[in-house]
């Protein structure tokens, strides 16, 4: 029998008391929910279930909205780092938005004091607190020194008018709180479904892109007489995709006959990459135990079904497409989590060493150059 949600029969006092009890229960549930998200995220349990990220698992498997998933994952990661937050949420000293705002500013040194200072404050008050503690001038220097953030992979962007990342990194006009520009910051772009099969894109571009668009319109003027921007961009994207497929997956409409030259990428011949890409539909092939095929179409890798170290061959039937998360998962299943962690750590150290060496070479060049500023800018 369907539950009735009509409360017209309740006295005012009981209605208010029930509401307060429900809010208290909701706080406790939220804290527990975050603890579960944090643990599932840390164990990466979404990977064997067929998802490349915690965000996509929350949206597609748990059916959370994109906003809700993003906010809860951010808060769960912060709370895992600073466990006092779980209690603060459960007992109503902090709300979820406050945790999300505070997250980028918390350090082991300031967490206790900053969390206490933010207790029982509204969103605006927390923003005010952060503006006072971390003045805008401090963050401006950070903005200038950080490289631009990579955009989210296509299939991890939220469909609809949701800015899963931008909302955390872009300073809204008129608000007081400075926002640290970190890895989660991304250019503000919205994609809004307008009608069936129609979408409204909104983003800003630089002068170069604007001029490129105008030039493309001019070059296409004999084909697209109206100069319709959407049509120009559609053609540009098709050309870009063809080019990228050619480069990344050796795709071509005219394969060279008998072509067997191996590429540098783990010796997979171009014709094998092309056949695998087409067979797998440009999508990760991992399937979870419930039949969920991984939705990832970004960060795909050609995966040897039989590991190369164990004599795996680069033939069409022994190569498959896997996203980075599931490629890593397969390696962990074969070689063990600890072994792969050690390998990743080794690779990370090698990259850091290479960066240090490159920086040292640049510094040496700078010191020996009669025009040091030219060296630094090049
Ligand atoms: Zn995958």
Over residues 285-335, the pLDDT tens digits come to: 999 998 999 999 988 999 888 877 777 788 999 999 999 999 999 888 888
Count up the domains in the chain and report the number: 4
Give the Cα separation of 71 and 87 in Å (integer): 18
Render the burial of 159-171: b for 16+ CB within 10 Å, e for the rest.
eeebbbbbbbbee
Over the chain, what is the mean pLDDT? 80
Confidence category of residue 251, pLDDT binned at 50, 70, 90: low
Q: Count of CB atoms within 10 A of residue 276's CB?
A: 24
Q: Count of CB atoms within 10 A of residue 78's CB?
A: 19
Whether pLDDT at 198 is above 50: yes
Is 94 within the bounds of a domain? Answer: yes
Residue 58: per-residue pLDDT: 97
Q: What's the gap in Å between 319 CA and the centre of ligand 1?
A: 15
Is 50 within the bounds of a domain? Answer: yes
Highest mean pLDDT among 183-192, 202-211, 316-325: 316-325
Q: Count of CB atoms within 10 A of residue 39's CB?
A: 12
Is 25 within the bounds of a domain? Answer: yes
- Of 75-84, 149-158, 298-307, 342-351, least confident by mean pLDDT is 149-158
Phi, psi of 271 (to 5 degrees): -70, -25
Whether residues 220 and 274 share a domain: the answer is no
Q: What's the gap in Å between 286 CA and the centre of ligand 1?
A: 5
Q: What's the gap in Å between 85 CA and the centre of ligand 1?
A: 32
Whether pLDDT at 67 is above 90: yes
Give the Cα separation of 180 and 184 in Å (integer): 10
Whether residues 241 and 314 share a domain: the answer is no
Q: What's the gap in Å between 354 CA and the centre of ligand 1?
A: 30
Whether pLDDT at 264 is above 80: no
Cβ atoms of 329 and 337 within 8 Å: the answer is no
Q: What's the gap in Å between 230 CA and the centre of ligand 1?
A: 31
Q: What's the gap in Å between 162 CA and the centre of ligand 1?
A: 23
Cβ atoms of 325 and 44 within 8 Å: the answer is yes
- Dihedral of alpha carbons 174, 176, 177, 181, sign: positive
Q: What's the gap in Å between 298 CA and the centre of ligand 1?
A: 9
Helix (H, G, I), strand (E, B) or coil at 192: strand
Q: What's the gap in Å between 46 CA and the centre of ligand 1?
A: 10
Q: What's the gap in Å between 169 CA and the centre of ligand 1?
A: 27
Residue whose C-alpha is closest to residue 287's, from 330, 249, 341, 338: 330
Whether residues 307 and 218 share a domain: the answer is no
Q: What's the gap in Å between 329 CA and the centre of ligand 1?
A: 9
Whether residues 349 and 307 share a domain: the answer is no
Q: What's the gap in Å between 241 CA and the centre of ligand 1?
A: 21
Whether residues 342 and 313 share a domain: the answer is no
Helix (H, G, I), strand (E, B) or coil at 319: strand
Whether pLDDT at 258 is above 50: no
Is 238 within the bounds of a domain? Answer: yes
Give the Cα separation of 19 and 211 in Å (integer): 57
Q: What's the gap in Å between 372 CA and the centre of ligand 1?
A: 47
Is 58 within the bounds of a domain? Answer: yes
Q: What's the gap in Å between 248 CA and the centre of ligand 1?
A: 18
Residue 199: per-residue pLDDT: 81
Residue with the two structure tokens 């498959």: 320
Give the Cα separation of 180 and 170 in Å (integer): 9
Whether residues 329 and 343 share a domain: the answer is no
Instruction: List the end-to-end C-alpha distance of the chain, in Å, as a whole number.
Output: 72
- Of 117-126, 318-327, 358-367, least confident by mean pLDDT is 358-367
Please classify residue 233 by burial: count the beta carbons closer than 10 Å to its beta carbon, then call 0-12 exposed, 13-18 middle and 19+ buried. Answer: middle
Whether residues 219 and 327 share a domain: the answer is no
Q: What's the gap in Å between 155 CA and the centre of ligand 1?
A: 11
Q: What's the gap in Å between 343 CA and the centre of ligand 1?
A: 21
Residue whose C-alpha is closest to residue 138's, from 104, 174, 186: 104
267-283 pLDDT, tens digit per residue, is: 788 889 989 999 999 99
Give the Cα separation of 224 and 226 in Å (integer): 6
What is the helix, strand, coil percentage profile of the chain, to 5? 55, 5, 40
Cβ atoms of 354 and 309 within 8 Å: the answer is no
Whether pLDDT at 175 is above 60: no
Q: What's the gap in Å between 44 CA and the centre of ligand 1?
A: 12
Residue with the two structure tokens 């955009």: 151
The residue-averaged pLDDT of 239-243 equals 88
Cβ atoms of 314 and 274 within 8 Å: the answer is no
- Residue 193's DSSP bridge partners are 199
- Of 112-116, 170-174, 324-328, least confident by mean pLDDT is 170-174
Q: What's the gap in Å between 39 CA and the centre of ligand 1?
A: 20
Q: What's the gap in Å between 276 CA and the centre of ligand 1?
A: 15
Residue 200: per-residue pLDDT: 82
Whether residues 129 and 17 share a domain: the answer is yes
**Left, alpha or beta for 146 (phi > 0: left; psi -120 to 50: alpha)?**
beta
Whether residues 27 and 78 share a domain: the answer is yes
Q: What's the gap in Å between 271 CA and the centre of ligand 1?
A: 23
Domain boundary among 144, 165, 190: 144
Residue 362: per-residue pLDDT: 78
DSSP of 100-152, one letter per residue?
Answer: HHHGGG--TTTHHHHHHHHTT--HHHHHHHHHHHS-HHHHHHHHHHSPPPPPP
Whether residues 46 and 84 share a domain: the answer is yes
Is 179 within the bounds of a domain? Answer: no
Helix (H, G, I), strand (E, B) or coil at 172: coil
Give the Cα separation of 245 and 236 in Å (integer): 14
Helix (H) or strand (E) holding 43: helix 12-43
Residue with the two structure tokens 């992979």: 153
Q: What's the gap in Å between 190 CA and the centre of ligand 1?
A: 25
Whether pLDDT at 184 is above 60: no
User: How far lies 377's CA from each of 149, 207, 372, in Å?
Assistant: 21, 21, 9
Whether residues 319 and 280 share a domain: the answer is yes
Whether residues 137 and 226 share a domain: the answer is no
Whole domain around residue 352: which residue ranges?
338-377
User: How far lies 139's CA from each of 78, 101, 127, 146, 350, in Å?
Assistant: 20, 15, 14, 11, 31
Q: What's the gap in Å between 301 CA and the centre of ligand 1?
A: 10
Helix (H, G, I), strand (E, B) or coil at 356: helix
Q: Which pTM value belongs to this model?
A: 0.63
Q: What's the gap in Å between 231 CA and the centre of ligand 1?
A: 32
Whether pLDDT at 166 is above 70: no
Residue 4: per-residue pLDDT: 83
Q: What's the gap in Å between 148 CA and the centre of ligand 1?
A: 26
Residue 334: per-residue pLDDT: 82
Is 197 within the bounds of a domain? Answer: no
Residue that wins the pLDDT comparison between 64 and 186: 64
Domain boundary among 108, 128, 144: 144
Is 181 within the bounds of a domain? Answer: no
Residue 163: per-residue pLDDT: 30
Q: What's the gap in Å between 322 CA and the centre of ligand 1?
A: 5
Confidence category of residue 337, pLDDT binned at 50, 70, 90: confident
């Amino acid at each position: 029998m369907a539950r009735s949600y009509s409360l017209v029969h309740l006295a005012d006092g009981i209605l208010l008391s029930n509401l307060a009890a429900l809010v208290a229960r909701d706080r406790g549930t939220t804290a527990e929910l975050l603890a579960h998200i944090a643990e599932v995220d840390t164990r990466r349990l979404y990977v064997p279930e067929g998802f490349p990220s915690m965000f996509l698992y929350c949206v597609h498997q748990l059916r959370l909205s994109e906003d809700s998933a993003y906010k809860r994952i951010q808060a769960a990661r912060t709370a895992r780092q600073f466990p006092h937050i779980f209690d603060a949420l459960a007992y109503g000293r902090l709300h979820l938005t406050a945790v999300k705002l505070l997250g980028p500013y918390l350090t082991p040194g300031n967490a206790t004091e900053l969390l206490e200072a933010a207790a029982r404050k509204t969103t605006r008050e927390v923003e005010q607190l952060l503006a006072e503690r971390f003045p805008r001038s401090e963050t401006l220097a950070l903005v200038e020194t950080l490289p631009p953030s990579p955009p989210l992979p296509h299939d991890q962007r939220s469909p609809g008018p949701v800015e899963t990342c931008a909302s955390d990194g872009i300073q809204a006009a008129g608000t007081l709180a400075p926002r640290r520009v970190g890895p989660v910051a991304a250019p503000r772009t919205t994609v809004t479904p307008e009608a069936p099969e129609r979408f409204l894109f909104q983003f800003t571009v630089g002068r170069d892109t604007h001029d490129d668009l105008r030039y493309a319109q001019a070059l296409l003027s004999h084909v697209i007489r109206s100069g319709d921007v959407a049509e120009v961009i559609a053609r540009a994207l098709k050309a870009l995709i063809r080019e990228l497929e050619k480069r990344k997956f050796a795709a071509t409409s005219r394969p060279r006959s008998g072509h067997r030259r191996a590429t540098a990428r783990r010796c997979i011949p171009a014709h094998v990459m092309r056949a695998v890409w087409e067979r797998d539909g440009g999508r990760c092939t991992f399937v979870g135990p419930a039949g969920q095929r991984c939705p990832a179409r970004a960060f795909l890798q050609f995966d040897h079904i039989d590991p190369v170290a164990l004599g795996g061959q680069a033939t069409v039937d022994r190569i498959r497409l896997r996203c980075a998360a599931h490629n890593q998962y397969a390696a962990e299943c074969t070689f063990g989590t600890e072994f792969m962690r050690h390998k990743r750590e080794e690779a990370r150290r090698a990259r850091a060493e290479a960066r240090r060496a490159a920086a040292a070479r640049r510094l040496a060049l700078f010191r020996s150059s009669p025009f040091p500023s030219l060296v630094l800018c090049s």
